Each structure stands twice: as C-alpha cells, then as structure tokens.
Amino acid sequence: MHELSIVTSIIKTAESEVESTGGGKIAAIVLEIGKLSGVEIQSLHFIWELCVKETILQDSKVTILEPEGKANCAECETEYRLEKIYDSCPKCDSPFKNIISGKELKIKKLIIN
C-alpha cells in the first residue's frame, strides 16, 4: 500500500512549506494525481483521513485533480488517450510512445492562512 507513504510524504512537505513561510494553517491543498500514476484514489482518501489527524492538514480541504493519460506515438506521431500504460497506438498499433500526461503525482497548490 504505497498510498500510505505518499500521504506521509505530502504531510511532511506541507509542514516544511508552512514552516518556511513563517507558520499559519493550511486551509486547502490541491493534489494532481494522474490516472496512470498507479495511485488508487479510494485508498488514498481512506489513508488520508487516518494520517492527517492532529497534523497541519487535519482541517484542510482536499481537492484531487486526475489528468487523463495521453501519449504521442513514436512511430506515426499520433496523439492518443491512454487507458492503461501499455496501450498501443490506435492508428498504427505501435507500442512505442512518449507519455504526455497521466503519470503526475504532485502537490499543485497549498493555501495557507
């Protein structure tokens, strides 16, 4: 369950950011977690509730953005949507691609009061 280590890392990063800005409270956090990142959003929500108790994120509003998977075919340069990381190009059936989006895993925004 790597969602636990992800949430723990988010908490540490948020605490560090608040400390570096002179303190305050986090009102909201926006996470960007791509659909190809391998993170199970339901598991993350479950772990989140348990982990943020008595931390700087306890009462903050959490928003999770989930970018779709997109790729550019290395053979025919067609841009297409990826449901799974191993999907082939729908035009030429090539498995070779450059992933454009969907693997993101980052804190996009922290709103500190």
Per-residue model confidence (pLDDT) at position 6: 95
The dihedrals phi and psi of 31, each to the nearest 5 degrees, come to -110, 145
Mean pLDDT by 10 residues, the chain (113 residues): 89 93 90 95 93 93 96 97 95 97 96 89
CA distance 49 to 40: 15
pTM of the complete model? 0.86
Per-residue model confidence (pLDDT) at position 22: 85
CA distance 113 to 93: 51
Per-residue model confidence (pLDDT) at position 83: 93
Q: Domains in the chain, please, with CATH?
A: 2-112 (3.30.2320.80)
- The tokens describing 94, both together, are 């090539």
The residue length of the chain stands at 113
